[in-house]
């Protein structure tokens, strides 16, 4: 493709705030990072591009939290457990302990951020960084009021896509060796579902979902013959959260693909509506109440850090001297194409080969949060330093709570160290501070 013509754009901008810790992105990772740093007494400035916190779990309508524990212990203890408890206390989980009513979760995050004293702005995009030799000095932000800068000592990237780290010069990997990414999903919310009728029908026809899907393929209900259907999750008396249909070819770092996928996704849910109404029982009267304001994004960049957590570590149930937590969710890599062979491989890995027995977990070293070549930047959430397999596990929200809390705590300790260098953080102190805040940190 012919390179686009270029134009120089320069502008003198205000430095409006000066803080200890700057956090970009208010998803599960960014929120926990900001709260952790603020609870340790640091001044924190958090920006979120949308109008609420929670990322995929609220604006993306992802309907449930994946596992917080390994079947024996709570691994996403500390802030993760607190969020789930506060959500339950506010009536925000629905009938399942891990369900998410997004409007309630948005308020829980608002309250935690406000109580911690974090200064925050919605509808504000991180658009650049100003740095000298690996040390970021300022974040450049764009909002309705204009473009401005925030000076900070330590920067945490909770954008899911590693935007801040990449703007500051970090190296990254994206997708498989051919650049294929997991598909996204435009999640949806439905009312008018008769869950009892569905449960009775399922009891009478176990395993019918697969054959019904085949029947719908034969009848050309779908534009994509996609065997991979996570489903609609019960969220209330007649309410359901849909994780249905895949957006193939979406790359959240390329808004042209996102634009196409959002338009397609809103059509795709209508195909699933027909399927649920005509082929299953209990969904006949269901009505679509909303689709996500954000597309559900499973995979983009993985920032390369001082350590890259790999499949081998996952298989070894690895233990690290600098681990900031442990996690256990199976490797869940949705195939990049609606291809039956790729789906069979996924099923084998997800249900058997790359799934742990109760009590098993892998360690997450602090070094997966420290991007190479950057002095005062930490990454948290979906974009930490790992291979594609581990990303397929750690990317779920409880995993993001673990790395978010650790990144925020490390940011605060880096400020305390005087240098604000992430590598000057004493790992034993980091692990103890996390432990004191309720995180699960085994060993000495
Ligand atoms: C369809 C789907 C189903 C899933 N199912 C589950 C599930 O059942 N259970 C589970 O636990 N997990 C699930 N996940 C995974 C999980 O939801 C995400 O991986 C997780 O939310 C990632 O958290 P994060 O904080 O890293 O990023 P995100 O949740 O993506 O949050 C990032 C936030 O940063 C903001 N942001 C991004 N760039 C900028 C910028 N430049 N400036 C300012 N703000 C910015 C975004 O608006 C967003 O709010 C699912 C994901 C998808 C897509």
Ligand 1 mutation target, pool 76, 159, 399, 404, most atoms within 8 A of CB = 159
Q: Flag whether pLDDT at 207 surpasses 80.
A: no
Residue located nearest, by CA, to atom 37 of ligand 1: 159
Which CATH number do you get for residue 41? 3.50.50.60
Q: Flag whether pLDDT at 375 surpasses 80.
A: yes
Summarize pLDDT for 83-104 with one digit per residue, the tens.
999 999 999 999 999 999 999 9
> To the nearest whole number, what is the mean pLDDT of the chain?
97
Contacts for 132 with CB less than 8 Å, ≥ 6 apart: none
Say if residue 189 is exposed, middle or buried (CB neighbours under 10 Å; 0-12, 13-18, 19+).
buried
In this prediction the pTM is 0.98
247 with 106, same domain: the answer is no
132: CA distance to ligand 1 center in Å? 30
Residue 163 and residue 24 in contact, taking contact as beta carbons nearer than 8 Å: yes
Q: DSSP readout, 137-156?
A: EEEEEEETTEEEEEEEEEEE
Rounded Cα gap, residues 216 and 435, in angstroms: 51
Q: Which domain holds residue 157?
A: 14-177+301-339+357-436
Q: Flag whether pLDDT at 421 surpasses 90.
A: yes
Report how far apart, in Å, the C-alpha atoms of 397 and of each of 30, 44, 83, 237, 403 are. Answer: 11, 22, 11, 25, 10
47: CA distance to ligand 1 center in Å? 15
Residue located nearest, by CA, to atom 2 of ligand 1: 296
Average pLDDT over residues 183-191: 98
What is the CB < 6 Å shell around ligand 1?
A: 24-30, 47-50, 55-57, 62, 64-66, 125-126, 158-161, 163, 184-185, 187, 243, 296-298, 381-382, 395-398, 400
CB atoms within 10 A of CB 71: 12
255 with 276, same domain: the answer is yes
Average pLDDT over residues 179-185: 97
Summarize pLDDT for 236-260 with one digit per residue, the tens.
999 999 999 999 999 999 999 999 9
Strand 240-243 relative to strand 188-191, pairing: antiparallel
Summarize pLDDT for 101-145 with one digit per residue, the tens.
999 999 999 999 999 999 999 999 999 999 999 999 999 999 999
**Considering the domain boundaries, does residue 441 fall inside one?**
no
Average pLDDT over residues 259-272: 98
**Considering the domain boundaries, does residue 296 fall inside one?**
no
pLDDT attached to residue 290 = 98
Q: Flag whether pLDDT at 146 surpasses 80.
A: yes
Label residue 443 by pLDDT band (50, 70, 90): confident
CA atoms within 13 A on the CB side of 235: 25
Rounded Cα gap, residues 85 and 317, in angstroms: 28
Summarize pLDDT for 376-402 with one digit per residue, the tens.
999 999 999 999 999 999 999 999 999
**Considering the domain boundaries, does residue 429 fall inside one?**
yes
23 with 42, same domain: the answer is yes
Q: Of 67, 54, 49, nearest to 28 (Cα)?
A: 54
19 with 133, same domain: the answer is yes
Label residue 215 by pLDDT band (50, 70, 90): very high
* Candidate from 121-125, 210-214, 318-322 with smallest mean pLDDT: 210-214
108 with 67, same domain: the answer is yes
pLDDT attached to residue 210 = 76
Say if residue 135 is exposed, middle or buried (CB neighbours under 10 Å; 0-12, 13-18, 19+).
middle
414: CA distance to ligand 1 center in Å? 26
Ligand 1 mutation target, pool 396, 407, 408, most atoms within 8 A of CB = 396
333 with 410, same domain: the answer is yes
**Considering the domain boundaries, does residue 249 fall inside one?**
yes
């Amino acid at each position: 493709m012919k390179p686009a013509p270029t134009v120089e754009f320069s502008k003198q901008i205000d430095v409006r705030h000066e803080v200890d810790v700057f956090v970009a992105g208010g998803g599960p990772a960014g929120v926990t990072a900001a709260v952790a740093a603020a609870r340790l007494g640091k001044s924190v400035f958090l920006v979120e591009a949308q109008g609420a916190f929670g990322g995929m779990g609220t604006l993306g309508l992802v309907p449930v939290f994946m596992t917080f524990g390994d079947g024996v212990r709570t691994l996403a203890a500390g802030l993760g457990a607190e969020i789930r408890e506060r959500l339950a206390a506010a009536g925000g989980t629905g009938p399942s302990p891990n369900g998410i009513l997004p409007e309630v979760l948005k308020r829980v995050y608002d309250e935690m951020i406000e109580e911690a004293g974090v200064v925050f702005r919605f509808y504000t995009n991180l658009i650049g960084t100003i740095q000298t030799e690996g040390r970021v000095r300022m974040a450049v932000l764009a909002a309705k009021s204009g473009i401005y800068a925030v000076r900070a000592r330590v920067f945490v990237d909770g954008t899911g896509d590693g935007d801040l780290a990449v703007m500051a010069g970090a190296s990254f990997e994206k997708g498989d060796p051919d650049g294929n990414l997991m598909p996204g999903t435009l999640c949806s919310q439905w009312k008018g579902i008769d869950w009892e009728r569905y449960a009775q029908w399922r009891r009478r026809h176990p395993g019918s979902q697969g054959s019904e899907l085949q029947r719908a393929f034969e009848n050309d209900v779908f534009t994509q013959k996609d065997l991979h259907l996570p489903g609609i999750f019960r969220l209330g008396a007649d309410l359901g959260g849909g994780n249905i249909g895949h957006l193939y070819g979406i790359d959240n770092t390329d808004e042209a693909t996102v634009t196409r996928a959002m338009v397609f996704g809103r059509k795709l849910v209508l195909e699933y509506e027909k399927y649920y109404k005509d082929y299953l029982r209990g969904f006949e009267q269901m009505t679509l109440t909303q689709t996500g304001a954000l597309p559900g994004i499973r995979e983009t960049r993985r920032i390369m850090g001082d350590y890259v957590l790999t499949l081998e570590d996952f298989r070894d149930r690895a233990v690290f001297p600098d681990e900031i937590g442990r996690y256990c969710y199976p490797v869940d890599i949705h195939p990049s194409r609606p291809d039956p062979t790729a789906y069979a491989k996924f099923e084998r890995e997800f249900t058997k080969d790359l799934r742990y027995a109760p009590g098993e977990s892998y360690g997450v070293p602090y070094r997966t949060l420290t991007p190479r070549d950057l002095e005062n930047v930490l990454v948290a959430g979906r974009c930490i330093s790992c291979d594609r397999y581990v990303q397929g596990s750690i990317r779920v929200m409880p995993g993001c709570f673990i790395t978010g809390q650790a990144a925020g705590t490390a940011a605060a300790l880096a400020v305390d160290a005087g240098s604000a260098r992430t590598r000057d953080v004493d790992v034993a102190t980091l692990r103890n501070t996390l432990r004191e805040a309720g995180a699960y940190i085994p060993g000495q």
